[in-house]
């Protein structure tokens, strides 16, 4: 049997560990991780392997200078230009038999023999080894039927779109037929090019599910935890050179790995889950716990390492401390009594003076990151969200290759103003230009973003907590791709930099408020004379703008018709003396009614009520839905339409458009309301104590529903329907119930929450 090992990985997320070595050469318990892969291949009958190399290829070739390891003959193919995963394989080999493709930078003990037998039995052109995972957001997922034939793929989705739990491990068995489909000398990937092409051509691809161990070593956290798994026997592999005889005058908490010629001084304490490679030193009274010390590293007297990585030849002097997920690069020196805070990285050959406290990466800034929440980033003001973080966020936004214009605005709190200023400084420091719309409310900022062609909008709203709303083209929610790019830039602090002479100025766009008012005026070209309506708003500025425009249009602020604007100006509810309370969802339906009746399509968020589709069917119109965080471009048509319909996200536009329609047709609010189907919506969040995928699948099984929703799960009940959508961070489920009345909708939320609680506790 033959194999191809993809060993060209640079391992940028493993820096500074991989500043000096390619990722497959990173040591795991004393040996390069690629050696474990070769031993696994040899165990399952592979006698020849070709290694595709690109980043520091000489390091790997030199290590395997004999051209053989564990009985496997080795060939090396250096990739001069990036050809993608499939392209690099095609240029390296031309096999006329089935062969295995495996990554050189992961650790696994999969039963490859069983996978090969399955591949041959199914007569597959390609077999993908898949594994069930708890968190699907970091993996390419595989959809397959009961016969294990693959039907589709989903690349690193949000929880709400993850309709399968099976990850593509990057381990494949390919036939010559599949290999021949890869074009020569072309940048071509397995996941994004070859496999979709095979599906389109009905070429058989199968999934082999393995229950073995698999760890994609993508970052420092998994690099350290993977070795802990090895020590705890969670993976079947051969750990060599672990010294059995340890000094009696030290404290050991097993399991530990201690290489050859390691010095362990008296009263030091090592373990548990600690790896100390050969030629390293642990000083008197030092403590090394849940950490990795690579070859020749040094922990001085009374040093403390907790969940840290000390790279080859690096030193922590007397009394120095490294905290969780901190990394000290090769040959770097941490001075006496200095501290390297959690997740901070010190690059190779750097020196930290004695008594220092390092809060940021020594080379490229802080490693702090914020995960996206609904609509953006949220956290406690001054704790999670700080001016420092906002400056880095600005630099990250300016470093996005896809972003040309950045528009920023904020609410009227002091904290929001400070955060906006810090953000703008970050943008300018990265050599980009910020369009500053000043202090305003969100719906006006959304208008400004769309009107000015801004393809990335940032809005700060602060109180005890701060919300940073981030929107893309047309002021729509960000895609998962953009979120991941931003998270990666902030995490790694890999920002653009510019010389002092290239720093731009921010563009003062506060005058857009006048344009916004003119736009609102244009929605009622014949004025609103004779219309009586009052405005209430939890945002004073939004209320003043709407009241002022209505007054100029001739409307009188009196009577019993009341429009209630939400705090952001994005939604509006109505109190009508005939109909009573009319919810924001119903108000939007009323606003859409004239468009649907004229045959125009309307784009709404995916989570919007199903009653909109009923209304569209009744009127002969059409509803298009866009996703909150699309993992691909499947909703691009709906997004393009939504960008041209800002009223869906603007309560002020909705109010004036409704009144203008009433004026033109002689209709009343009750006339419009009577045309709507009976529906009410209830929203409820349920905190999770388990993985979102488990919760969703438990509900799916309990209610006997197939998971066909684009986001989350749709459930049909006797009293109505519900959408169950995991939050972006996965810590809760959003329940959106819809029924004929509000009471039934609330009951549906209560029933689903109770069912979920019982299911989780039973399991």
In a domain, 226, yes or no: no
Q: Domain residues for 430?
A: 376-510
Average pLDDT over residues 251-278: 93
* C-alpha–C-alpha distance, residues 376 and 385, integer Å: 12
* C-alpha–C-alpha distance, residues 683 and 700, integer Å: 19
CATH of the domain at 268: 2.160.10.10
Tell whether 307 and 287 lie within a shared domain: yes
**Closest Cα to residue 621, out of 603, 647, 643?**
603
* C-alpha–C-alpha distance, residues 755 and 403, integer Å: 44
pLDDT tens column, 416-450 = 999 999 999 999 999 999 999 999 999 999 999 99
Tell whether 396 and 341 lie within a shared domain: no
* C-alpha–C-alpha distance, residues 654 and 546, integer Å: 11
pLDDT tens column, 25-73 = 999 999 999 999 999 999 999 999 999 998 999 999 999 999 999 999 9
In a domain, 211, yes or no: yes
SS3 (DSSP) at 550: helix
600 Rama class: left (phi>0) / alpha (psi -120 to 50) / beta: beta
The encoded tokens of residue 734 equal: 């959003």
Strand 68-69 and strand 27-28: the pairing is unpaired
Q: Which residue has the tokens 């203008």?
A: 660
Strand 251-252 and strand 269-270: the pairing is parallel
pLDDT tens column, 686-695 = 888 777 888 8
Tell whether 457 and 552 lie within a shared domain: no
CATH of the domain at 125: 3.90.550.10
Give how many domains the chain has, as a whole number: 5
Tell whether 400 and 549 lie within a shared domain: no
In a domain, 704, yes or no: yes
State the DSSP H helix or E strand holding residue 536, giving kind and residue range, or none if neither: strand 534-537
Last residue of a domain, one of 177, 200, 216: 216
Mention every residue, 6+ apart, whose C-beta is less than 8 A from residue 500. none
Tell whether 544 and 642 lie within a shared domain: yes
Model confidence band, residue 364 (pLDDT cutoffs 50, 70, 90): very low
According to DSSP, residue 89 is labeled: H
pLDDT tens column, 660-670 = 999 999 999 99
Strand 680-687 and strand 622-626: the pairing is unpaired
| Residues of the chain by 3-state class (helix, strand, coil), percent to 5 | 35, 25, 40
Q: How many CB atoms lie within 10 A of CB 155?
A: 14
In a domain, 230, yes or no: no
In a domain, 332, yes or no: yes
pLDDT greater than 70 at residue 370 = no
In a domain, 222, yes or no: no
532 Rama class: left (phi>0) / alpha (psi -120 to 50) / beta: beta
* Predicted pLDDT of residue 32: 93
Tell whether 506 and 518 lie within a shared domain: no
Q: Are the CB atoms for 548 and 631 separated by under 8 Å?
A: no
Query: How big is the CA angle at 33 (ends 29 and 35), to the nearest 5 degrees?
Result: 100
In a domain, 232, yes or no: no
Q: How many CA atoms lie within 13 A of 105 on its CB side?
A: 26
In a domain, 236, yes or no: no
**Rounded percentage of the chain residues whose pLDDT exceeds 90:** 67
* Predicted pLDDT of residue 703: 87
The encoded tokens of residue 342 equal: 């959690």
pLDDT tens column, 638-658 = 999 999 999 899 999 999 999
Average pLDDT over residues 745-759: 90
Tell whether 102 and 60 lie within a shared domain: yes
* C-alpha–C-alpha distance, residues 445 and 46, integer Å: 60
Tell whether 456 and 323 lie within a shared domain: no
Beta bridge partners of 167: 131, 141
- pTM to 2 decimal places: 0.66
Q: Which residue has the tokens 């009052």?
A: 534
Q: How many CB atoms lie within 10 A of CB 511?
A: 11
* Predicted pLDDT of residue 367: 33
Could you tell me the maximum CA-CA distance found in the chain, to the nearest angstrom? 95
Average pLDDT over residues 222-235: 93
Average pLDDT across the chain, whole number: 90
Last residue of a domain, one of 674, 705, 721: 674
Tell whether 495 and 411 lie within a shared domain: yes
CATH of the domain at 460: 3.40.120.10
The encoded tokens of residue 513 equal: 């408020």
Cis peptide before 108 (omega within 30 of 0): no
**Least confident among 208-217, 361-370, 619-628:** 361-370
Measure the N-to-C terminal CA separation of the chain; round to a whole number of Å.
43
* C-alpha–C-alpha distance, residues 133 and 277, integer Å: 31
| Phi, psi values for residue 128, rounded to 5° | -105, 125
**Least confident among 84-88, 178-182, 353-357:** 353-357
* Predicted pLDDT of residue 762: 63
pLDDT greater than 50 at residue 156 = yes
**Closest Cα to residue 173, out of 323, 1, 296?**
1
Tell whether 586 and 670 lie within a shared domain: yes
* Predicted pLDDT of residue 368: 37
* C-alpha–C-alpha distance, residues 726 and 390, integer Å: 27
pLDDT greater than 60 at residue 554 = yes
Tell whether 200 and 253 lie within a shared domain: no
Strand 214-216 and strand 106-108: the pairing is antiparallel
Strand locations in 361-442, DSSP E? 376-380, 406-410, 434-439
pLDDT tens column, 437-492 = 999 999 999 999 999 999 999 999 999 889 999 999 999 999 888 998 888 888 76
pLDDT tens column, 565-605 = 998 999 999 999 999 999 999 999 999 999 999 999 999 99
Tell whether 166 and 259 lie within a shared domain: no
Last residue of a domain, one of 510, 535, 558: 510
């Amino acid at each position: 049997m033959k194999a191809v090992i993809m060993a060209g990985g640079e391992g940028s997320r493993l820096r500074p560990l991989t500043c000096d070595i390619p990722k497959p050469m990173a040591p795991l318990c004393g040996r390069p991780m690629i050696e474990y892969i070769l031993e696994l291949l040899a165990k399952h009958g592979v006698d020849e392997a070709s290694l595709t190399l690109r980043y520091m290829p000489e390091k790997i070739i030199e290590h395997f200078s004999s051209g053989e390891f564990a009985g496997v003959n080795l060939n090396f193919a250096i990739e001069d230009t990036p050809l993608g995963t499939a392209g690099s394989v095609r240029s390296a080999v031309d096999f006329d038999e089935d062969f295995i493709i495996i990554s050189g930078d992961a650790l696994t003990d999969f039963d490859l023999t069983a996978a090969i037998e399955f591949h041959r039995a199914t007569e597959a052109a390609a077999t993908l080894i898949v594994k069930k995972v708890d968190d699907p957001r970091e993996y390419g997922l595989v959809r397959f039927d009961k016969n294990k034939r693959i039907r589709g793929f989903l690349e690193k989705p949000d929880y709400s779109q993850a309709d399968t739990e099976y990850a593509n491990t990057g381990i494949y068995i390919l036939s010559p037929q599949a290999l021949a489909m890869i074009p020569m000398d072309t940048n071509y990937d397995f996941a994004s090019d070859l496999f979709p092409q095979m599906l389109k051509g009905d070429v058989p691809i199968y999934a082999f599910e393995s229950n073995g161990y698999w760890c994609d070593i993508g970052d420092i956290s998994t690099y350290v935890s993977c070795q802990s798994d090895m020590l705890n026997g969670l993976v079947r592999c051969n750990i060599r050179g672990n010294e059995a005889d340890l000094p009696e005058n030290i404290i050991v908490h097993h399991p530990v790995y201690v290489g050859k010629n390691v010095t362990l001084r008296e009263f030091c304490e090592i373990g548990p889950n600690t790896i100390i490679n050969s030629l390293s030193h642990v000083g008197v009274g030092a403590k090394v716990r849940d950490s990795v010390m690579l070859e020749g590293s040094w922990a001085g007297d009374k040093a403390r390492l907790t969940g840290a990585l000390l790279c080859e030849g690096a030193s922590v002097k007397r009394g120095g401390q490294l905290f969780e997920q901190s990394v000290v690069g090769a040959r770097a020196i941490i001075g006496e009594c200095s501290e390297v805070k959690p997740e901070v990285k010190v690059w190779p050959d750097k020196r930290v003076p004695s008594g220092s406290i390092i809060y940021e990466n020594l080379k490229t800034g802080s490693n702090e990151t914020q995960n996206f929440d609904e609509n953006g980033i949220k956290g406690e003001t001054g704790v999670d969200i700080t001016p420092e973080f906002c400056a880095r966020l600005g630099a990250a936004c300016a470093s996005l290759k896809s972003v040309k214009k950045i528009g920023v605005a904020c609410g009227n709190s002091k904290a929001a103003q400070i955060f906006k200023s810090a953000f703008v400084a970050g943008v300018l420091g990265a050599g980009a230009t910020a369009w500053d719309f000043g202090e305003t409310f969100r719906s006006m900022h959304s208008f400004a973003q769309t009107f000015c062609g801004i393809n990335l909008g940032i809005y700060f709203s602060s109180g005890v907590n701060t919300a940073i709303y981030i929107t893309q083209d047309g002021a729509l929610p960000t895609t998962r791709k953009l979120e991941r790019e931003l998270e990666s830039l902030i995490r790694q602090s890999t920002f653009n930099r510019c010389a002092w002479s290239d720093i731009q100025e921010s563009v003062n766009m506060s005058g857009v408020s006048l344009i916004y008012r003119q736009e609102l005026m244009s929605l009622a070209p014949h004025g609103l004379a004779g219309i009586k309506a009052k405005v209430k708003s939890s945002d004073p500025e939004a209320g003043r703008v709407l009241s002022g425009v209505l007054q100029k249009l001739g409307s009188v602020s009196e009577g019993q018709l009341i429009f209630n604007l939400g705090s952001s100006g994005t939604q509006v509810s109505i109190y009508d003396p005939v109909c009573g309370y009319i919810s924001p969802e119903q108000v939007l339906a009323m606003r859409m009614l004239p468009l649907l009746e004229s045959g125009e399509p309307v784009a709404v968020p995916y989570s919007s009520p199903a009653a909109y589709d009923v209304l569209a069917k009744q009127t002969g119109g059409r509803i298009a839905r866009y996703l909150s965080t699309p993992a691909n471009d499947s909703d691009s048509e709906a997004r393009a339409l939504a960008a041209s319909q800002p009223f869906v996200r603007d309560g002020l536009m909705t109010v004036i458009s409704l009144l203008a329609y009433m004026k033109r047709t002689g209709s009343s609010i009750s006339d419009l309301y009577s045309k709507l189907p009976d529906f009410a919506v209830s929203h409820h969040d349920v905190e999770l104590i388990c993985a979102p995928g488990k919760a969703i699948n438990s509900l799916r099984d309990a209610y006997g529903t197939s998971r066909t929703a684009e986001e989350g799960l749709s459930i049909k009940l006797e009293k109505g329907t519900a959408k169950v959508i995991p939050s972006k961070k996965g810590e809760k489920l959003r329940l959106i119930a819809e029924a004929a009345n509000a009471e039934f909708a609330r009951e549906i939320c209560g029933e689903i929450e109770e069912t979920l609680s019982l299911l989780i506790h039973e399991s």
